[in-house]
Structure 1
Amino acid sequence: MDSEKRLLRSVIDERLVKSGEKDKLKEYLRLRLIESGWRDNLKMQCKEIIRSKDPSSITIDELISEMLPKARASVPDNIRVEMFTRIRKHLQESDG
């Protein structure tokens, strides 16, 4: 099942890239996350992590590996739904 999901994601990604819709979706997502305060919240969390450790010893890779799961999990549900709706709508419209 996992390989089926990867294949489906790959096909969807390819269609979005070819149509130019992926860049539009990325920009829309960026703006919505900024509007929601998500980005500012992540900045604050990053600063807290850096303060709690030795700032001279933490690497960007360590910070990313610690923050990535938190960042993904903290995307507001309404924005997730909007993105899935936009993707679904685009795919339906491009099919016919």
Structure 2
Amino acid sequence: MSKETQMRAAVNQKLVEMGERERLKELLRAKLVECGWRDELKAHCKDVIKGKGLEHVTVEDLVTEVTPKGRALVPDSVKKELLQRICAFLAQQSTL
């Protein structure tokens, strides 16, 4: 396992243990709804289903088709805020 992978696993474990991961997920959900991301992605899903036909689309197809656009549509400000929150959490943990 690479050092980066080990570090990611350790950070994730600490986030889960302290309950911060759930708080960050709730913040992310709220921010995405607030900026209209959810509605845009919902509309894109409908377009994909309309284009391929309901009978010809599986959940896996939809996820594969929609995921890149969903990631691209997340505003930089939301990404930045989450990163700042994670960094602040880690800084707080290192001082304890």
Identity %: 39
- Name the count of aligned residue pairs: 95
Question: 2:54 — aligned with what?
Answer: 55
Say which SS state the counterpart of residue 56 (structure 1) adopts: helix
Deviation at 1:95, TM superposition (A): 1.0
Question: 1:43 — aligned with what?
Answer: 42
Question: 1:14 — aligned with what?
Answer: 13
Give the structure-2-normalised TM-score: 0.93
Q: Does 1:4 align with 2:6?
A: no
Deviation at 1:70, TM superposition (A): 1.4
- In structure 2, list runs of 5 or more residues that go unmatched: none
- In structure 1, list runs of 5 or more residues that go unmatched: none
Aligned-residue CA RMSD in angstroms?
1.3
Deviation at 1:3, TM superposition (A): 3.1
Deviation at 1:93, TM superposition (A): 0.6
- CA, structure 1 residues 70+85, in 2 after alignment: closer, same or farther (shift >3 Å)? same
Q: Which runs of 4+ in 1 moved over 4 A?
A: none
